[in-house]
Amino acid sequence: MLQAVTGVVMASCYSPSVTTAWASVAYLQDQMALGWFIRGLHSAGASAMIILLLLHMLQVAVWGAYRAPRELNWIVGVALLGIALGFALTGYLLPWDQKGYWATQVATSLMGAAPLLGPVMQQLIQGGTSYGHLTLTRFYALHVFVLPATTVLLVAIHIALFRRHGVTPSWRLSPDELERKRVPFWPDQLVLDAAAIALIFSLLAGSVIHTHGAALEAPADPTAAYDARPEWYFLPLFQLLKLFPGRAEIPAALGAPALIFGLLLALPFLDRAGSRSPQGRWRYLAVLLVLIVGAAALGLCAWHADAHSETYQKEHHRAEAEAERARRLALEGVPVAGGRAVFENDPTFRARRLLAERCLGCHIYSGTGEERGPSLDGWSSRAYLTALLHNPDHFYGHTPFHEMKPVTAPEPQIAALVEYVYSLGGGSVDRAQVAEGQALFSSLDCDQCHETDGSSSGQGPNLGDRASRDWLRAFLRDPSAERFFGKKNEMPKVGEKLSPEELESVVDLLLSERAKGLF
């Protein structure tokens, strides 16, 4: 019931397409009133449903309630477990985030690797040979129409059969004792049911509030590496794949679930023991126990391996940071292209695009562009300045400033000089080094060509205030000013062609390069 209600409510804010699925779920999660709570209930409710189903099956098995005349009801129950897992599998993909996308890829790939009908089934369910709009609409249709309708039908049969055959009594009681213990459903049994529902709901709500709802990762990206993990109830299967490498993998991945479901379905027909007492049926219960313990062990192994894998943890944290960034940017609305386009909201993304349009005809940045002017990677960071002093031609070799000679001095002196030049543009610096660098600036004759007062001209650019925010703004607007490149300037007045916001975003990007210092 809870799944149905929260599901219907969420469907009022979900848009199943590659371009809108993630955006609509991010909106539901982060901007709709209590959206996170409702989505969290739906997700935690799914887990609770699987747990309760397994417990119920276990109880039925121990009581021997699957035996004649209730074989059919047991089979319907096993089918319902399959349906529940189907819900989980289809629902996982719907947010179209990294986690759902990659985990579901694994599931559909395995399906495609199955013999005979595998590839056809995969293509049918995916709505094509690869993931796209049709994958989402088909998964959505399965998740909200086909599976719920099947569930209603099977539950109706389940309850009808249950009413026909009645409750399976405990094997210990005689018919007389049973008659004495008989209680009416309303209100005696119902109050217990209500209490159980209230308890489970409190636990669910508590856990949702504690975790602030279900995770939503960054939008699906077929080009980005992602260490996919399925939901906990599929972890045993996931671990099984790791244990069966190579050609054994597909038979194991498909064979294990087939075997388990086959066993469960066949159980009523295998178990021909005389009484329903568990002692008489220990063989069958032992098989079930082995299955449960085996699955739990596999799941724990998978969890343990991840918890202790540094690579996985690192990847996990990276994914979390990316998700956080994507969701923050999505608050401004996701561009029409959807999904990954959310990153276009990032000011640095816009600045990068501007840089590509306006600057990379002469400069190199992140591996693209032309080498006419200096590279912009790590622009004016300490590492950049150090390299510049060692080899000015690497930066200005193709410009009229190729006259500057490399500075030959011991490394500590270069470092002090760099610290001094860096300090001119502001930022936290090492005062002692700056003082040393300032002395070197004149003793090494740097001041022969470079002024540092920020206004006058010289052989080379004036270094006063260099690489500060104001300096950058003024420089980009007019690099040919006397204090910058003066008459030797060949750089266009880029800043004049940008709007104030655009100029600011480019300045921000260059300043972040300066602060990063990656080079």
Interface residues with another protein (CB under 8 A) are 2, 5-6, 9, 12-13, 15, 20, 23-24, 26-27, 31-35, 37-38, 41, 186-188, 190-191, 194-195, 197-198, 201, 205, 330, 332-336, 338, 345
One DSSP character per residue, 347-404 reads HHHHHHHHHHHHTTTT-EETTEE-SSS---TTTTSHHHHHHHHH-HHHHHTTSTTTTP
Collapsed DSSP state (helix, strand, coil) of residue 174: coil
**How far is residue 204 from each of residues 2, 37, 116, 333, measured CA to CA in Å?**
11, 10, 42, 31
Cβ closer to another protein: 194 or 292? 194
Cβ closer to another protein: 83 or 208? 208
Cβ closer to another protein: 2 or 301? 2
Long-range contacts (CB closer than 8 Å, 24 or more residues apart) made by 318-321? 319/98, 319/99, 319/217, 319/218, 319/226, 319/227, 320/217
> Which one, of 186, 297, 315, 299, lies nearest residue 234 by Cα?
299
> Which one, of 392, 398, 433, lies nearest residue 412 by Cα?
433
Cα(423)–Cα(468) distance, integer angstroms: 10
Cβ closer to another protein: 12 or 311? 12
Q: Is the dihedral of CA 320, 325, 330, 334 positive or negative?
A: negative
Collapsed DSSP state (helix, strand, coil) of residue 346: coil
Cβ closer to another protein: 23 or 418? 23
Q: Are 487 and 513 in contact, with CB atoms under 8 Å apart? A: no
Q: How far is the CB of 41 from another protein (least distance, A)?
A: 8
Q: How far is the CB of 32 from another protein (least distance, A)?
A: 5
> Which one, of 347, 357, 355, lies nearest residue 375 by Cα?
355
Q: If residue 364 lies in a helix (H) or strand (E), which one and from where to where?
A: strand 364-365
Cα(262)–Cα(260) distance, integer angstroms: 5
Cβ closer to another protein: 153 or 198? 198
Cβ closer to another protein: 48 or 79? 48
Q: How far is the CB of 200 from another protein (least distance, A)?
A: 9
Task: Count the neighbouring beta carbons within 10 Å of the beta carbon of residue 16.
Answer: 22
Cβ closer to another protein: 153 or 331? 331
Cβ closer to another protein: 185 or 411? 185
Q: Any idea which residue has 């590279």 for tokens?
A: 375
Q: How far is the CB of 68 from another protein (least distance, A)?
A: 34
Q: Are 481 and 474 in contact, with CB atoms under 8 Å apart? A: yes
Instruction: Please state the φ and ψ torsions of residue 365, each to the nearest 5 degrees.
Output: -145, 130
Collapsed DSSP state (helix, strand, coil) of residue 408: coil
Cβ closer to another protein: 116 or 183? 183
